[in-house]
Structure 1
Amino acid sequence: MSTATDTLLKVEKGNAAPEELAAITAILLARAAAAPEEAATTRRSQAGWRRLERSRGFQAPHSWQG
């Protein structure tokens, strides 16, 4: 449970006015909302390179394997 003494921001030095705290809170919330989520679906299912020793030396231009 939260009480009245729980704080989200703590001023370490100086005296911040309520307007200043509201401004920094709005900035932090906007940055948190704008941060891109890490997409787990962007990983490749297979390597983007091929081993040359496993491929044939010549592939026809009309080949389906190119």
Structure 2
Amino acid sequence: MTDPVLRIAKGDPTPEELAALIAVVSARAAATPAATSGPTTASNWASYWRNHTRPLHPGPGRWKASAHP
């Protein structure tokens, strides 16, 4: 059995008060963004160079051509 997430330590709340408390806590939890372990996409700098580099074409004399776009 799991421990309760919410426990009333003092007083005797009515069912309506408990419902209001649960609604507020649930709304607050839903509004909080989930923590991420790191960036899920490449940075703008990395994606720029990935999209703007030409593919390599090996062959005789290609090293000379690589200096002249």
Between Structure 1 and Structure 2, whose CA radius of gyration is higher?
A: 2
TM score, norm. by length of structure 1: 0.46
Report the structure, 1 or 2, having the larger helix content: 2
Higher relative contact order (CA 8 A, sep 6+): 1
TM score, norm. by length of structure 2: 0.45
